[in-house]
Every structure is written in C-alpha cells, then in structure tokens.
C-alpha cells in the first residue's frame, strides 16, 4: 500500500475549502492507502493563538476529521505536537533549507503582508512541513493547490538529503483534486478561502448553521452579468460558486451551466446553498455526537502511539546518517 500523509492547522474554523480541497480526499484515500492524518498544531502557532482557543480548535478539527468519515481504526489520526520527532526533524530540515527557498514562498508573502512584525516560525514553517512528510516516508500528500509550492520544497529537500547523506527518504507526490483545489473567498475571488480570515463572510465554515450558510451564499459576490458560466478568467466569482456546487452535488460543471441557462443568478444561488447544506449538515450532526462522546483523547492517544513508532525509527536513521551519536 502507498503511504499517505496530510494535515490541517487548528488555526480557526475549518472551511468548505478545507473540506473540498483536502479532507474529502483524506476520507476517500483511507481504504486504499496506508494513511496518516494529523492536526498540525505546531503550524498553527506560527501566528499568535490564544491558548484556550488553540485547544478548542484542535479538538474541533479532530472531531471534524472523524465526522467527515475518517475511521481512526483504519487511518492513523494524531496531533503533530504529541510526536516530538516532528520538531526535531523540523530543525534538521531547517538547517538544510536555503534562505532563498523560503523567501520565494508565496504563502509567507501572503501571510506576512501588511504586518509590522511576524514570528520567525512563519518564515521557517515550510521546513517543518517538509519534516512532517518525510518522517513517514509518505508517497502521496493530499493538499489544496496553495500547498503545491511547499510540496515542491519537500521533494527538493528529500533529494538533497538523499544525495548528501545516502538514500533515505521517499520523494513524495502531491495529490491535488482537479476541481476544487482552490476554493476562493466569497467576498474576493482573487483570494483563496481561508479559515484564518478575519472576515467570517469570506468563508463557509464546516460548522456554520444552515441559515448562516444560506445567508453567506446569498451575499457572495458575483458580477454584473447574469450568465451561469464557468470561465475562471472572466467570471472568477461565478466560476468559484460553480466549482463549489459541482463538489457538493453529483452534477458536472456542464450540467450546472445547462440547468441555469437564461435564469440569472438567483435560482442558481438558492440551489447551491441547499447543496452545501446537504453536504455539511450530516457532518455537523456526527460532529456534535463525537464532541459529546468524549472519545477524542482516546483516539489521539492511539494515533500518537502508532505515529511515534514510525517517526522514532525514521529520525534515528536520519541522525545516524548525518553523523549524530546515537546512545
């Protein structure tokens, strides 16, 4: 079985973009692959997090993993911070990363734009992500389009390590969906939908109540035309909504275009909202059950133990190859 690894940051309320671009694929891959899915809490603290909120968000993301359909007896579900090898290999990878490589990262540019000062961790975070992936010798990494550049860095560093210290790491491939790899903000189709956005109207949270979802979609920016047509270049807002519709229904983009021909945006948005509600409502019901059941910490403990076995063996091998004394 090929190995899969990925993760989501507990940096806010997971969005429909996280679901479509990543989580939905985690669920799909779990039965055919050897899967490791973590909540990357150490990544979340690259921007300031309130301690109580971090804990709540970490529990919430874990519960959403399970509610969306991840089976902890099939996939290994764990918290990044509970497997200390991530931080250790992260440091070693930081030493192998060039400043120029980090300076080119568009996520750093986006997240630091307009800020007076940012933590150094926001800058070096891609090296920790490299470690997250290489620690498990992952073959495939299901991510949204925004993570492509970090995956490239991961591949480069795996190759760099292998050629300097001898064959050690698998070179991982990104697994990026064809539709829905980059869901855009509802208020600005030039920006990706993000859970850390300060404007709650820009995203649909996976836990938004049905009426909130309906309101957000009815307010979503479109254009002054009235054609429901998929044309990301000239109609980015409408195209984004069509992608969401296609991902939340079993309709193709062409079928959606045909269905609303000549009707303007009103009926389209109404049906779209119902498709999103129908996708998220069952997840929300399971989510509430899971939060009430108190099972989360048990799941995470079991995941930690399984992950640590892999991580420990791999880190030892890496340290040995680099010349560290293993006692």
Q: Which residues bind ligand ATP (CB under 6 A)?
A: 8-9, 11-12, 15, 17-18, 20-22, 143-144, 146-147, 181-183, 192-196
Kindly state the smallest distance separating residue 192's Cβ from ligand ATP, in Å. Answer: 4
SS3 string, 308-321, reads: HHHHHHHHHHHHHH
Query: Catalytic: 195?
Result: yes
Kindly state the smallest distance separating residue 48's Cβ from ligand ATP, in Å. Answer: 12
- CA atoms of 280 and 284, how far apart (whole Å): 6
- CA atoms of 293 and 26, how far apart (whole Å): 23
Residues linked to residue 79 through DSSP beta bridges, in sequence order: 39
Residue corresponding to tokens 């009707």: 263
Handedness of CA 235, 236, 238, 240 (dihedral sign): positive
Query: Catalytic: 111?
Result: yes
Query: What's the burial of 199, exposed, middle or buried (CB within 10 Å: 0-12/13-18/19+)?
Result: exposed
Q: Which is nearer to ligand ATP, 92 or 140 (CB)?
A: 140
Q: Which is nearer to ligand ATP, 22 or 66 (CB)?
A: 22
Q: Which is nearer to ligand ATP, 108 or 260 (CB)?
A: 108
Phi and psi at residue 37, to the nearest 5°: -125, 120
Q: Which is nearer to ligand ATP, 160 or 232 (CB)?
A: 232
Residue least distant from ligand ATP (Cβ): 21
Kindly state the smallest distance separating residue 184's Cβ from ligand ATP, in Å. Answer: 7
- CA atoms of 276 and 203, how far apart (whole Å): 12
Q: Which is nearer to ligand ATP, 110 or 305 (CB)?
A: 110
Does 194 carry a binding-site annotation?
Answer: yes
Q: Is the distance from CB of 3 to CB of 136 less than 8 angstroms?
A: yes
Does 195 carry a binding-site annotation?
Answer: yes
Tell me which of 24, 109, 111, 321 is the catalytic residue: 111
Does 144 carry a binding-site annotation?
Answer: yes
Q: Is the distance from CB of 317 to CB of 136 less than 8 angstroms?
A: no
Which tokens go with 289? 């059950």
Tell me which of 24, 195, 235, 304 is the catalytic residue: 195
Contact partners, residue 213, CB within 8 Å, separation at least 6: 204, 273, 276, 277, 280
Kindly state the smallest distance separating residue 294's Cβ from ligand ATP, in Å. Answer: 25
Does 132 carry a binding-site annotation?
Answer: yes
**Count of all residues that appear for the chain in the document:** 327
Rounded alpha-carbon distances, angstroms, from residue 296 to 51, 75, 208, 252: 19, 14, 21, 36
Kindly state the smallest distance separating residue 7's Cβ from ligand ATP, in Å. Answer: 7
Handedness of CA 151, 124, 21, 86 (dihedral sign): positive
Does 282 carry a binding-site annotation?
Answer: no
Q: Which is nearer to ligand ATP, 69 or 227 (CB)?
A: 69
User: Which among 255, 237, 238 is positioned nearest to 246, based on CA atoms?
Assistant: 255
Does 18 carry a binding-site annotation?
Answer: yes
Contact partners, residue 248, CB within 8 Å, separation at least 6: 20, 272, 275, 276, 278, 279
In the 8-state DSSP scheme, what is residue 19?
I
Kindly state the smallest distance separating residue 109's Cβ from ligand ATP, in Å. Answer: 13
Does 34 carry a binding-site annotation?
Answer: no
Does 12 carry a binding-site annotation?
Answer: no
Catalytic positions:
111, 192, 195
Binding residue positions for ATP: 9-11, 17-18, 144-146, 183, 192-196
Binding residue positions for L-tryptophan: 132
């Amino acid at each position: 079985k090929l190995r899969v690894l990925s993760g989501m940051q507990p940096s806010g309320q997971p969005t429909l973009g996280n679901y479509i671009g990543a989580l939905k694929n985690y669920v799909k891959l779990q039965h055919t692959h050897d899967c490791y899915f973590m909540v990357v809490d150490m990544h979340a603290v690259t921007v300031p997090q309130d301690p109580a909120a971090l804990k709540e968000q970490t529990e919430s993301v874990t519960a959403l993993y399970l509610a969306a359909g991840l089976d902890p007896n099939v996939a290994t579900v764990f918290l990044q911070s509970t497997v200390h090898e991530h931080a250790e290999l992260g440091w070693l990878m930081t030493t192998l990363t060039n400043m120029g490589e980090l300076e080119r990262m568009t996520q750093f540019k986006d997240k630091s734009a307009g800020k007076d000062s940012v933590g150094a961790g926001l800058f070096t975070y891609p090296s920790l992500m490299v470690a997250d992936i290489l620690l498990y010798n992952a073959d495939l990494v299901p991510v949204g389009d925004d993570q492509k550049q970090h995956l490239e860095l991961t591949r480069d560093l795996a190759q760099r390590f292998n050629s300097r210290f001898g064959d050690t790491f698998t070179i991982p491939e990104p697994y990026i969906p064809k539709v829905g790899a980059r869901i855009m903000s509802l208020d600005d189709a030039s920006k990706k939908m993000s859970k850390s956005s300060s404007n709650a109207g820009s995203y649909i949270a996976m836990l938004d109540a049905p009426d909130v979802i309906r309101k957000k979609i009815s307010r979503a920016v479109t254009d002054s035309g009235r054609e429901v047509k998929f044309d990301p270049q000239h109609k980015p807002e409408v195209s984004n909504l069509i992608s969401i519709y296609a991902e939340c229904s079993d309709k193709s983009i062409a079928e959606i275009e045909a269905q609303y021909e000549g009707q303007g945006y009103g009926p389209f948005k109404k049906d779209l909202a119902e498709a999103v509600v129908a996708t998220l409502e069952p997840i929300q019901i399971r989510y509430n059950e899971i939060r009430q059941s108190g099972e989360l910490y048990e799941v995470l403990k079991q995941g930690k133990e399984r992950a640590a076995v892999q991580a420990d063996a791999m880190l030892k091998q890496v340290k040995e190859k680099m010349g560290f004394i293993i006692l």
